[in-house]
């Protein structure tokens, strides 16, 4: 399907590079990685070599310094091959690196951002906790100052790439239990797994996105040097929320990639599969499904790319970023559900890829803010902008 919103030469080149890499080095292995629930770190390093882990980081820090649209185009291509590879890329590019770029000091940028831009260090983001999901500012992981260190105690949950990440952006409370300041009492810390007191805990056994390791991190007197505090004490929640504006666009691109792969598979299958003496694509019921799937994907993609352009013009994307994520993730769920239906019984088994797309699509409605939370953000912004 042709691209509705015109692309520049550079954007097309990035898209082609990502598509070629994804087709050759990711797609052929995605079913096995899903089955074995493992993602080879070597593939992440290879993504780094090609620049996919430094797409939004300026060239002066060894990144590619690309615009948001180029990044989202590349992410959609990677997601069409494997949603697990895409979440690694999305989290790394949108969350810890963007927080370092916006709020890190020169020394932190040299130590962490530069090697992350080259893909030599992989990033993760640890905000959620067992009892603090949508209500993230209720987090309880406690950081207490002790001499030249902060000492962290608590549990972070659902950390994508958490078992192999080299740099984890951790949000923890720096207020005291008797003087809780909700979101104002949270700071961001740059944590590395070599620090004493860092433990990787339970690995989640998930429905989809199985190759992406989602783990708990347990901090038992974790000693973080004071120089690893990001920006100002008490501002960590604000920094995290700002980076999630980017993150939501990344998840929208991931959802579009999954949905597009499902549509492509359904188009092929409907042309090949014969019932009642003709390919099922001849049935109007199937044609209507394919038409609706393609229309919704095109609409979600157009909204995302218009939002990306607004971001690159320096405009706030809180409203349209949330709308893009909501629309793209619900589209991915719709499209993958219809794809399974078009495959009939064969859509329900692992011989064909659509059952994986269906399982992978669901998470896009949940992480980086559930669909319910996106609707809350959108409604709030509607009133704020009147
Ligand atoms: C595979 C995976 C990877 C993840 N990766 C990361 C990561 O890398 N880093 C990280 O920090 N987190 C990560 N998360 C956590 C994710 O962001 C949370 O799961 C998500 O924010 C929802 O929180 P919760 O699971 O606690 O659900 P809850 O907040 O308990 O929500 C349960 C239900 O209640 C609804 N709900 C909650 N509050 C409201 C409200 N005010 N109004 C209406 N409905 C509401 C929700 O929409 C949902 O339907 C990941 C999660 C998964 C499953």
Kindly report, residue by residue over 123-137, the tens digit of the pLDDT.
999 999 999 999 999
Distance in Å, CA 147 to ligand 1 centroid: 35
Decide if 187 contacts 143 (C-beta within 8 A): yes
The answer to whether residues 243 and 366 belong to one domain is yes
Question: Among 117, 140, 174, which residue terminates a domain?
Answer: 117
Q: How confident is the model at residue 297 (pLDDT cuts 50, 70, 90)?
A: very high
Return the ∠ at Cα 110 (arms to 60 and 14), rounded to 5°.
40
- Can you say whether residue 208 is alpha, beta or left, with left for phi > 0 and alpha for psi between -120 and 50 degrees? beta
Given the CA of residue 204, which atom of ligand 1 is nearest to it? 1
The answer to whether residues 245 and 163 belong to one domain is no
The answer to whether residues 368 and 278 belong to one domain is yes
Query: What domain count does the chain have?
Result: 3
Q: Within 6 Å (CB) of ligand 1, which residues are found?
A: 91, 125-128, 133-134, 158-160, 206, 209, 214, 363, 366-368, 370, 372-373, 376
Kindly report, residue by residue over 59-84, the tens digit of the pLDDT.
999 999 999 999 999 999 999 999 99
For residue 89, what pLDDT is reported? 97
The set of catalytic residues is 368
Best of 127, 128, 155, 322 to mutate for ligand 1, by most ligand atoms within 8 A of CB?
128
17 backbone dihedrals φ, ψ, rounded to 5°? -60, -45
Distance in Å, CA 188 to ligand 1 centroid: 20
The answer to whether residues 286 and 372 belong to one domain is yes
CATH code: domain of residue 363: 1.20.140.10
CATH code: domain of residue 218: 2.40.110.10
Distance in Å, CA 123 to ligand 1 centroid: 20
Q: Is 2 within the bounds of a domain? A: no
Print the domain residue range for 282. 238-384
Average pLDDT over residues 102-114: 98
Q: How confident is the model at residue 158 (pLDDT cuts 50, 70, 90)?
A: very high
Which of these ranges, 76-80, 160-164, 181-185, 268-272, has the smallest mean pLDDT? 181-185
Q: Is 67 within the bounds of a domain? A: yes
Q: How confident is the model at residue 1 (pLDDT cuts 50, 70, 90)?
A: low
* Alpha helix (H) residue ranges in the chain: 9-21, 30-36, 41-49, 68-81, 83-94, 96-103, 106-108, 114-117, 236-272, 284-312, 318-343, 354-362, 371-384
The answer to whether residues 277 and 162 belong to one domain is no
Distance in Å, CA 133 to ligand 1 centroid: 4
Q: Is 3 within the bounds of a domain? A: no
Q: Is 4 within the bounds of a domain? A: no
Question: Rounded mean pLDDT of the chain?
Answer: 96
The answer to whether residues 186 and 265 belong to one domain is no
The answer to whether residues 52 and 68 belong to one domain is yes
Q: How confident is the model at residue 245 (pLDDT cuts 50, 70, 90)?
A: confident
Best of 366, 371, 378, 379 to mutate for ligand 1, by most ligand atoms within 8 A of CB?
366
Q: Is 217 helix (H, G, I), strand (E, B) or coil?
A: strand
């Amino acid at each position: 399907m042709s691209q509705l919103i015109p692309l520049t030469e550079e954007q097309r080149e990035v898209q082609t590079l990502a598509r070629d890499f994804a087709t050759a080095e990711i797609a052929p292995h995605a079913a096995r990685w899903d089955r074995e629930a493992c993602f080879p770190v070597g593939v992440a390093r290879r993504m780094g070599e090609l620049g996919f882990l430094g797409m939004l980081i300026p060239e002066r820090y060894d990144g590619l310094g690309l615009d948001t649209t180029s990044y989202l185009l590349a992410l959609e291509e990677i997601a069409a091959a494997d949603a697990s590879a895409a979440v690694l890329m999305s989290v790394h590019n949108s969350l810890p690196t963007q927080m370092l770029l916006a709020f890190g000091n020169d020394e932190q940028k040299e130590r962490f951002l530069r090697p992350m831009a080259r893909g030599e260090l992989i990033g993760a983001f640890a905000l959620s906790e067992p009892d603090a999901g949508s209500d993230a500012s209720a987090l309880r992981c406690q950081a207490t100052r002790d001499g030249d260190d902060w000492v962290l105690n608590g549990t972070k949950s659902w950390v994508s790439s958490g078992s192999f990440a080299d740099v984890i952006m951790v949000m923890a409370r720096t207020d005291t239990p008797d003087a809780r300041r909700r979101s104002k009492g949270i700071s961001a810390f740059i944590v590395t797994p070599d620090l004493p007191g860092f433990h990787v805990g339970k690995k989640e056994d998930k429905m989809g996105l199985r190759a992406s390791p989602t783990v708990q991190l347990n901090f038992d007197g974790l000693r973080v040097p004071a120089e690893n505090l990001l920006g100002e004490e008490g501002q960590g929640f604000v920094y995290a929320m700002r980076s999630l504006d980017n993150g939501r666009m990344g998840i929208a691109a991931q959802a579009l990639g999954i949905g597009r792969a499902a549509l492509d598979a359904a188009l092929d299958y409907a042309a090949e599969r014969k019932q009642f003496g003709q390919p099922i694509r001849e049935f109007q019921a199937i044609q209507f499904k394919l038409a609706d799937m393609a229309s919704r994907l095109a609409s979600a993609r157009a909204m995302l790319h218009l939002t990306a352009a607004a971001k690159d013009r320096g405009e706030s994307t809180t409203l349209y970023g949330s709308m893009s994520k909501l629309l793209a993730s619900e589209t991915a769920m719709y499209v993958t559900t219809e794809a399974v239906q078009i495959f009939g019984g064969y859509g329900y088994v692992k011989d064909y890829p659509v059952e994986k797309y269906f399982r992978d699509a669901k998470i896009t409605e949940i992480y980086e803010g559930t669909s319910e939370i996106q609707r809350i953000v959108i409604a709030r912004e509607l009133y704020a902008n009147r």
